[in-house]
Amino acid sequence: MPFVAAGPGAAGALPDGGGGTAKLKVQPDRVLDLKRELEDVRDEVRTFLRNEAEGLWVRPQGADPVSLDAAKTINENAQTAVEVAWAYVERLTNVIDALDHAAKTYGLVEDTNTTNLQQRS
């Protein structure tokens, strides 16, 4: 398997619900593949948040207390979801940056650029 979560609770979920650190072991020849995949996910979530997040909020269906309370609760949940999604984008960006650093350390960026130039010739 090219990507393996390592450490406690290694199924990819963080053991404490998000505040801790999980490690991901990646085979060196797959670093750039994983980086591209995570960039795609990050970009998709970020685009959704930029274009669609406002659509998550609702207006009360009526002036009665039940409608007002329901809209308030839905909007609070929407706000929390948007905040969590932005935090996810930030964490993905940090992982992508780390993978970029690893790729440079392994010399994979230069190898990929050389291969791409050779294929174009």
Give domain limits for the chain.
28-120
pTM score, two decimals? Answer: 0.68
Identify the band that residue 120 occupies on the pLDDT scale cut at 50, 70 and 90: low
Bridge partners (DSSP) listed for residue 25: 4
Task: Please write the tens of the pLDDT for every residue from 44-59.
Answer: 999 999 999 999 999 9
What confidence category does residue 25 fall into, taking pLDDT thresholds of 50, 70 and 90? confident
What average pLDDT score do residues 6-34 get?
A: 64
CA-based max dimension of the chain: 71
Q: Which of 18-32, 84-98, 107-121 has the lowest mean pLDDT?
A: 107-121
Right CATH for 28-120 from 1.10.300.10, 1.20.1250.20, 3.10.20.30, 1.10.287.850 = 1.10.287.850
Q: Do 9 and 15 form a contact (C-beta atoms < 8 A)? A: yes
pLDDT at 12 over 60: no
Cα angle 84, 71, 89 (rounded to 5 degrees) comes to 15
